[in-house]
Amino acid sequence: MFDYTFQWNQALARLPRMLDGAVVTLEVAVLSMLIGIVFAMILTLMRLSDSRPLKAIAATWIEIARNTPALLQIYMAHFGVASFGIHFSPFTSLLIGITFNNAGYLAENFRGALKAIPDTQARAGRSLGMSSLQSFRYIIVPQMLRISFLPMTNQMVWAVLMTSLGVTVGMNTDLYGVTQDLNALTFRTFELFAIAAVIFYIITKIITLGARLIASRLFRY
Amino acid sequence: MFETSLTAADFLFLAKGAGMTIIVTAISVVIGTILGILFGVIRVQLGAILSAPLTFFLDIFRSVPLLIQLVLANAFLGMVLKLQLSGFFVACMVLSLYTSAYCAEIVRGGIDAVPATTRRAARSLGMTWVQDMRHIVMPLATRVALPSWIGLALGVMKDSALVYVVQVTELLKSTQILITRLQEPLFLLLICGAFYFIISFPLARFGGYLEKRWSND
């Protein structure tokens, strides 16, 4: 029954290409996270505003991002918008899809964090002579980012894992895409994907451990 | 004004895909939750050091993309062990373990949220470990864990969109098949998205409601 010969050498010989893929994976994840945080901030501000349309747009974005599969969002960014004659490269589609997803989840995290900050904090800022924008920028946002640091780390891990979905829109430069291409070439499916899994595991471990290190540095007080 | 070549038969095809999504999700969530409760209790009971191997094993499911887990499981069972398993079986197996890894974490959080003094009080009243678990820990831990568990179940439903790699035609895959034929990606993806949304949104709201209600006492 057990007559399968593992050929790790064949797969390991491709390791450099896979590591190049891992770099692209990290690139997409980091970019989507940075842009996602910016959009999440904007969404949070829209939710806090008094304008109904702004609130509705923010709520729609967040609920769609959180209640449909990430894969569907990536499809939408690639095949869906193609109906309007807009054609993105796989890289861009993947980035848009993950960023859309990240922004939705992060905005929800930010909302939870904002709830945990007492109103008196903003008022104290105002009574010290800060403008409302200043008090938001210097009093609320730092605390908000601190409270939502752990959820943000989780989201970063999610972003890394989500990059593997890029292959469905034709992405072949990220870790999963490269592995899939190599698989078509060598047909060492188990060995290649096992190595990819180990690389993903190491990446996520570095992120969580790195975040813990940063957190212990930043939030020492 | 609006025309589509989507026929009733195509719609039925989509509905079948939706049914598959629900079946795979239901099986995985049920098995995953049972395993998750077991793993969670074992982890709390054994302590961090003794349960380290289990923690590591479960951590893998949370640190490797589901797509790779599915491909690996399929390759290992099919090519290495040469077992003739259906894609459906592999999908349910991987998703169940994936669910159990997250569920164990939720269960552990729930049990940890029960104050040690409460549990000691139960034991000093003469309750056995089982009685303490059944009558004290479970009701209190459920309050903490249930909202997250609903979130997890919905997450599994969304992640079940990936089981297409092991040749299971669920909702998103059937949508894709129709897109290839009808060339109406936007319309079809909207239908598909609406289906996920209709199931996920009310349940997510319900989870949020429970969380709010149960946290203020």
CB contact under 8 A, A190 and B60: no
Contacts of B60 (CB under 8 A, 6+ apart): A197, A201, B101
Nearest chain B CA: its distance from A106 CA (Å): 15
Chains A, B: CB pairs < 8 Å: 107
* Neighboring chain B residues of A25 at a CB cutoff of 8 Å: none
Q: What is the pLDDT of residue A218?
A: 82
A59 at interface of B, judged by CB pairs closer than 8 A? no
A187 φ/ψ sector (left φ>0, alpha ψ -120 to 50, else beta): left
**Comparing C-alpha atoms, which of A26, A65, A21, A29 is closest to residue A159?**
A29
Interaxial angle between packed helices B185-215 and B171-182, expressed in degrees from 0 to 180 and rounded to the nearest 10: 160
Of all residues in chain A, the one with the smallest CA distance to B79 is A4
| Structural domains of chain B, with CATH | 8-215 (1.10.3720.10)
Q: What is the pLDDT of residue B131?
A: 94
Query: Distance between CA atoms of A160 and A24, rounded to whole angstroms?
Result: 10
Q: Over the range A159-179, which residues count as b (16 or more CB within 10 Å of their CB) and which as e?
A: bbbbbbbbbbbebbbbbbbbb
Q: Over the range B165-186, which residues count as b (16 or more CB within 10 Å of their CB) and which as e?
A: bbebbbbbbbbbbbbeeeebbe
Query: E strands within chain A?
Result: none
Q: What is the pLDDT of residue B1?
A: 47
Looking up tokens 């459906």 gives: B88
Interface test with B, best of A7, A68, A155 (most B CBs within 10 A): A68
Structure tokens at B210: 């429970």
Query: Distance between CA atoms of B154 and B173, rounded to whole angstroms?
Result: 18
Q: Residue ranges of chain B with pLDDT lower than 50?
A: 1
- Reduce the secondary structure of A70-101 to three states and give it as a string: HHHHHHHHHHHHHHHCCCCCHHHHHHHHHHHH
* Neighboring chain B residues of A157 at a CB cutoff of 8 Å: 63
Structure tokens at A105: 């989840």
Structure tokens at A10: 């064949």
Per-residue pLDDT of chain A (221 residues; tens, 9 = 90+): 567 777 888 778 888 899 999 999 999 999 999 999 999 999 999 998 899 999 999 999 999 999 999 999 999 999 988 888 888 999 999 999 999 999 999 999 999 899 889 989 989 999 999 998 888 889 998 898 888 999 999 999 999 999 999 998 988 899 999 999 998 888 888 889 999 999 999 999 999 999 999 988 887 76
* Neighboring chain A residues of B184 at a CB cutoff of 8 Å: 83
CB contact under 8 A, B161 and A167: no
Q: What is the pLDDT of residue A107?
A: 94
ipTM of the complex model: 0.88
| Structural domains of chain A, with CATH | 19-218 (1.10.3720.10)
Q: What is the pTM of this model?
A: 0.90
**Comparing C-alpha atoms, which of A3, A10, A4, A29 is closest to residue A195?**
A10
